[in-house]
Structure 1
Amino acid sequence: MVDPRLPGEPAERAARAPVGRRGFLKAAAVGTGALGLPVALPVVTPAPASAPARASVAPFQHGVASGDPLPDGVLLWTRVTPSPEAVPGSGAGPVVEVGWQVALDPGFREIAAAGSQRTGPDRDHTVKADVRGLSPGTEYHYRFLYGDAASPPGRTRTAPAAGTSVDALRFGVVSCSNWEAGHFAAYRRLAERGDLDAVVHLGDYIYEYGTGDFDAGGRTVRRNVPAHEILTLADYRVRHATYKSDPYLRGLHAQAPWIIVWDDHEAANDAWSGGAQNHTPETEGPWAARLAASRQAYFEWMPVRVGADGAIHRRLRFGDLAEFFMLDLRSYRSQQVRGTAVDDPARTITGRAQMAWLRESLSASDARWRLIGNSVMVAPLALGALPAHLLGPMRRLLGIPEGGIAVNTDQWDGYAADRKRLLTHLRDEGIENTVFLTGDIHTSWASDVPLTPLGPTVASEFVVPSVTSDNIDDFLRVPPRTASLTAEGVIRATNRHVKMVELDSHGYGVLRVTPARATMDWYRLSDRTSEDATATRFATYETRSGDPGVRRVWLPT
């Protein structure tokens, strides 16, 4: 049974806030912020579908995608353009019926499941089909049908059944893709592998800024559409459509299912439950209206399952080997603060209900590995020993306050009580083999996660670089692997739990999980501004079953 509605699908587009933008960013912090409280939205029943148009436009312009694989199903996504006026964000065009097929073979001769659903301007002509009744651990091919046209085919895979013994899994891990800063060659190189069980995206899939408002190494490689900062539902829909016009993003979506979670830029920089750094109510309207618009567009355009009241934290199991716990660290968090206020036990990054869900779920899981999809860094970080010329760029990148307090209060460092609650639970419950997979700060890290800065290690953390968003060399306008080397040495010297840090490269990670170890390969691009950039492995670290912490490995996974 396929529900044709989006979870929390709204009856009409959010009220338009004034289009306008501060003339410059109040703060150039690049890796923090997100969304706010989930907004419960009413459901609309589509009008009767029209007959397929024999249109003068290609109906499937934004590719196909799959996500959130289960042992018996997977979520399928596409967008149809049924008529010339039905462009993204227009609110125009007919209600139509779109079919879908899931097959065991690329020629679609062995159909395993099929169905159809209606879509129209109320959901920006996007289609999401939550297909069930499939076989566990099986590769499938899928496509969508409209009139005489078929979409490009996609390939996906269901998860192994919960009791199944699994020898190995491999995941691509990505975050932070700024359209204006470069091309998505990282997605291209991941898609070429052909060996991924899924792709994990840890947030900042899109950016909300207007053209030139977000640092891109002093160069705008390609312009945002729309050119202004996005505020309304139509704006967010058009920006999502712009990103899915990239052939390499579409290609990676078509190669494997995605497991995604948002960070801040899907709505606005440094968001918290009641607002965002990059939102001014006096000129940009109520935060709640902007948040509702960004959320609706995200639910329409992304292959993600959505729970009650717009919740996206969820568990995904892969046999007896691994279980993902995907966190929402933007919707329920307290506002960012400075100084000793970060220790206030009343402050939260997860919200009380999500923290209770996470701790209970970690205790209940009997998978060998617990993989926490975590949008901001959990390992503590002190930067007070950095020289001034490097502390400035690091402050901008990590969101450190102007006053020089050496902590990024948008990360778990700013929510010390919640971090202690979670890590103490891991220790007290004897929960082993926990790995945090993290994005957000555009750089690469392999760290032990200590209970306290000088305490015992209770978990591991792998932080992947940005796909394109600025790093230290981009901020400084210097060649890579020059000025950053000093910063890296100081960070390792003053943070003993940090085993690897690399501050310059753009690229991705590849995580391989076996019963014995979880291993991450880090890959850097030769040039983020080139569609033909090559990718080279520059580091590999692992954590071993029953032995928390990370150690270097010289051979790739």
Structure 2
Amino acid sequence: MSMNRRGLLGLFGAGAAAGCATLPSGEDVAVAFAHGVASGDPATDRVILWTRVTPEVGQAGPVSVVWRVLEAEGDRVVATGSVMTGPERDYTVKVDAAGLKPGRDYRYDFAVGEARSPLGRTRTLAAGGMAPVNLAVASCQLHPGGLFNAYEAIAALPSLDAVVHLGDYIYEYGAQEDAYGMATGAKLGRVPQPPHEIVTLADYRLRHAQYKTDPDLQAAHARAPFICVWDDHETANDAWMHGAENHQPETEGDFAQRKAAALKAYYEWMPIREAEPGALREAIHRSFHFGDVASLMMVETRLTGRIEPLDYAKDLTAMEGPDGEPVLDLDAFRAKLNDPGRDLMGAQQRDWLKHELSASKARGRPWQVLGNQVVMARVAGPDVSRTLTEAEVEGLMARIPEAYRDQFEQALFLFRMGLPFNLDAWDGYPAGRERLYAVFAEAGVQPIVLSGDSHAFWVNELKDAGGARRAVEFGTSAISSPSIGDAIGGFPLGAALMQANDEVRFCDQSAKGFILLTLTEDRAEAALMQVSTLFAKPFEVSALKQVVLIRADGAITGV
């Protein structure tokens, strides 16, 4: 299918022009709706509606914004109201629009005086029944990394219940010549704003604002409700409860203050339901039920229960070998890795998840789905010395760009020892993963696990330490963030990971795009959708791979 944004924007523009003639006016001030509209966190009777008004320069007071919800067709208004916004929340607007009917499509918009927003589409959750559920699964959208062509493709989908976003909605890096993604960003004119690494509330707000000026992201938000969780880059790379790899207290201050600023901006700028009064703002795990077909549990694995990730450079130490030469102390490292205290979810969230999974099964829903941030499968790095000759390895190294050659050579050395491919994923927390698998077993379910973060496509069969199958994992690649496969030339890393790991049934480390997950009473189909380019329009979108799971007599077959 060939994609071109012109026709898509024309569709939304025509709807907006036709639907706004009778919208009541708000306060008579001059504003623009430069960041589009969005909806999120749908329920059977309500949905979050979002926009942001941009006042004229020099105008800094409060603004009254009128909102309305219309039926999918025609001009009948089914809900309306007004809300105040101002500089205290960066002029963002968030409405929990209630009184809607289950399983319905709606349109919505906003107005301030004569200024009117684009028209958005949203959908409530079905209260029951076995209507098919269509979910687009997205993650990792580095603005300098390339055009958001995948979002244009998502916006054009003919049937879509929700977009499940698994995190890395923004990135914190600056615009230095050697900053992440800037080799591409400089060529495309996609330069981060502000141009430095974001640390303060003003910084995070401006970065969110820049992302939401992207027309393809705006089109996707206007197409269907988003169900979102954050990963690490919404705060800083490789974040955990009390710090991050990309946070230096000596120059960037207290991490808790930076995290608070990041979360305030996130809640302002994202169509996510606000935390209950007194609740921990980091605890955004929550459930969504799509009729009698599926339950979606969004989990949080960064800021509420994750202890500090291990790091090979810091935690894999040397000891004196038999001949007096230093050797790596693998036993000591594996003891750290397998420490029973290593966790990234926490007991409270696991208890919540067990209850939700058990309740979904008791209701008779055939599918339980986890919206999870990082790859869950057991994935050891590939030992290429077992499959390539010495000459082939030398040829491989010659093809690796010089900037990555030393790093890649070190990784290949470590992978000969069967060490994990990624310590920031569930592989860095094996005891916590076993506790999670025990929850699956106790609830009597084998869920579909959705994963982001890796910038790669995955199909994995998840097994516990005893070899019992506990879940199936579909990992989505990035919308635009660079992949390891991009950096190492033509080396077939995905194929090497498949060969080295029993749980990895499919892996592609280069393609970019999203997953289209379709769920029916007895069938789950995951289409790994790739875009042909991140650097131009028009582009092509196609299914890189399609996987079908069949549920019959309580058992799942496939993968």
TM > 0.5 between the two?
Answer: yes
Q: Which amino acid letter does the alignment assign opposite residue 102 of structure 1?
A: V
- The number of residue pairs the alignment matches comes to 482
From 158, 181, 202, the counterpart of 1:216: 181
After the TM superposition, which of the residue ranges 537-546 and 499-508 deviates more from structure 2?
Answer: 537-546
Post-superposition offset of 1:241: 0.5
Q: Secondary structure at the match of 1:183?
A: coil
Q: Secondary structure at the match of 2:343?
A: coil
CA distance in structure 1 between the aligned counterparts of 2:126 and 2:454, rounded to whole angstroms: 32
From 426, 430, 455, the counterpart of 1:442: 455
The 8 Å contact of residues 448 and 550 in structure 1, kept in 2 or not, is answered as no
Structure 1 residue runs of 4+, over 4 Å off?
387-397, 399-404
CA distance in structure 2 between the aligned counterparts of 1:296 and 1:381, rounded to whole angstroms: 35
From 520, 541, 556, the counterpart of 2:547: 541
The 8 Å contact of residues 67 and 304 in structure 1, kept in 2 or not, is answered as yes
CA distance in structure 2 between the aligned counterparts of 1:218 and 1:542, rounded to whole angstroms: 38
Q: Which residue of 1 aligns with 2:143?
A: 179
Q: Which residue of 1 aligns with 2:114?
A: 148
Q: Which residue of 1 aligns with 2:371?
A: 373
The 8 Å contact of residues 185 and 528 in structure 1, kept in 2 or not, is answered as yes
Flag structure 1 segments of 5+ consecutive residues without an equivalent. 1-49, 87-92, 552-557
Post-superposition offset of 1:544: 2.0
Q: Which amino acid letter does the alignment assign opposite residue 100 of structure 1?
A: W
CA distance in structure 1 between the aligned counterparts of 2:404 and 2:165, rounded to whole angstroms: 25
The 8 Å contact of residues 181 and 529 in structure 1, kept in 2 or not, is answered as no
Q: Which amino acid letter does the alignment assign opposite residue 439 of structure 1?
A: G
Matches within 5 A, 1:329-344: 329-332=301-304, 333-337=306-310, 338=315, 339-340=333-334, 341-344=336-339
CA distance in structure 2 between the aligned counterparts of 1:223 and 1:440, rounded to whole angstroms: 22
Matches within 5 A, 1:122-201: 122-161=88-127, 164-201=128-165
CA distance in structure 2 between the aligned counterparts of 1:196 and 1:342, rounded to whole angstroms: 41
Q: Secondary structure at the match of 1:70?
A: coil
Q: Which amino acid letter does the alignment assign opposite residue 102 of structure 2?
A: P
The 8 Å contact of residues 82 and 94 in structure 1, kept in 2 or not, is answered as no
Matches within 5 A, 1:305-320: 305-307=273-275, 308-310=279-281, 311-320=283-292
Q: Secondary structure at the match of 1:135?
A: coil
Q: If each structure's helix is expressed as a fraction of its own residues, which one has the higher value? A: 2
Change (3 A) 1:413 1:143: same
**Is 2:100 the counterpart of 1:97?**
no
Q: Which residue of 2 aligns with 1:45?
A: none
The 8 Å contact of residues 80 and 125 in structure 1, kept in 2 or not, is answered as yes
Q: Could you say which structure has the greater relative contact order, defined with CA pairs below 8 angstroms and 6 or more residues apart? A: 1
Per-residue CA distance 1:41-90 (angstroms, 9 max, x = gap): xxxxxxxxx983442xx52110000001100110000001233246xxxx
The 8 Å contact of residues 372 and 437 in structure 1, kept in 2 or not, is answered as yes
Change (3 A) 1:435 1:369: same
Q: Which amino acid letter does the alignment assign opposite residue 440 of structure 1?
A: D
Change (3 A) 1:462 1:103: same
**Is 2:432 the counterpart of 1:464?**
no
The 8 Å contact of residues 393 and 472 in structure 1, kept in 2 or not, is answered as no
Q: Which residue of 2 aligns with 1:483?
A: 491
The 8 Å contact of residues 400 and 406 in structure 1, kept in 2 or not, is answered as no
Change (3 A) 1:396 1:132: farther
Per-residue CA distance 1:161-181 (angstroms, 9 max, x = gap): 1xx112311111111001001
Q: Which amino acid letter does the alignment assign opposite residue 458 of structure 1?
A: R
Q: Name the larger-Rg structure.
A: 2
The 8 Å contact of residues 76 and 130 in structure 1, kept in 2 or not, is answered as yes
CA distance in structure 1 between the aligned counterparts of 2:182 and 2:503, rounded to whole angstroms: 30
Post-superposition offset of 1:548: 4.0
Change (3 A) 1:299 1:500: same
Post-superposition offset of 1:305: 1.4
**Is 2:357 the counterpart of 1:362?**
yes
Q: Secondary structure at the match of 1:518?
A: strand
CA distance in structure 2 between the aligned counterparts of 1:414 and 1:494, rounded to whole angstroms: 18
Q: Secondary structure at the match of 2:284?
A: coil
Q: What value does the CA root-mean-square deviation take over the aligned residues?
A: 2.4
Q: Which residue of 2 aligns with 1:8?
A: none
Q: Which residue of 2 aligns with 1:230?
A: 198
Q: Secondary structure at the match of 2:517?
A: strand
CA distance in structure 2 between the aligned counterparts of 1:395 and 1:64, rounded to whole angstroms: 45
From 451, 454, 467, the counterpart of 1:455: 467
From 225, 230, 239, the counterpart of 2:207: 239
Q: Which residue of 1 aligns with 2:530?
A: 524
Q: Which amino acid letter does the alignment assign opposite residue 243 of structure 1?
A: Y
Per-residue CA distance 1:410-442 (angstroms, 9 max, x = gap): 11111111111111222243224x100111000
CA distance in structure 2 between the aligned counterparts of 1:101 and 1:74, rounded to whole angstroms: 12
CA distance in structure 2 between the aligned counterparts of 1:458 and 1:435, rounded to whole angstroms: 10
CA distance in structure 2 between the aligned counterparts of 1:345 and 1:395, rounded to whole angstroms: 33
TM-score under structure 2 normalisation? 0.82
Flag structure 2 segments of 5+ consecutive residues without an equivalent. 1-24, 316-332, 386-392
**Is 2:441 the counterpart of 1:427?**
yes
